[in-house]
Amino acid sequence: TYIISKEDFIAEFCSSPEKTFGHYQEMARSKFLKPFLDIYEWAEEAGATSIVVGGSFVSRKNDPNDLDVVIFFATSSQVPHGRERYDIDGLMLDVQLLAEDQPEIASAYLELLGTTRSGARHGLVQVKMHSSVQTFYRPE
């Protein structure tokens, strides 16, 4: 699990320019900038402690199909109820809301998020709302 700031996440995964025929054209990933910022803002206002992103979005894939996100809250009583899959302007967002006080469930979701369909393991990225928040490492 790599710890990264919101600003670094955006620079690394949402807004890298690509040079094409002498002018700059935003990569396909830039279309996820606003949805990520919306998720981050909502999570912060809802009292979340951190956001973990995985799947193809944190790979080198040029045009990921979706954004796979786990939003953590300190306790299960703080977790809002809501949908898990969102379509924003044609972009799929898979969002799971979990609690730090349920480590077995959190561990299972992180294992899923950190494994490809073919069973290969890959990294996760955690954006903490506060520096004192625990780091969610993918289980060994």
pLDDT tens sequence across 10-62: 888 887 555 454 444 456 788 888 888 988 999 999 999 999 998 888 877 77
Q: How far apart are CA 64 and CA 69, in angstroms?
A: 13
Rounded mean pLDDT of 97-121? 88
**CATH code of the domain occupying 2-127:** 3.30.460
pLDDT tens sequence across 52-93: 998 888 877 777 888 889 999 999 999 988 666 777 677 778
- CB count within 10 Å of CB 59 equals 13
Q: What pTM, to 2 d.p., does this model score? A: 0.83
Concatenating the DSSP letter of every residue in 95-106 gives EEEEETT-HHHH
- Strand 50-54 to strand 2-3: parallel, antiparallel, or no bridges (unpaired)? unpaired
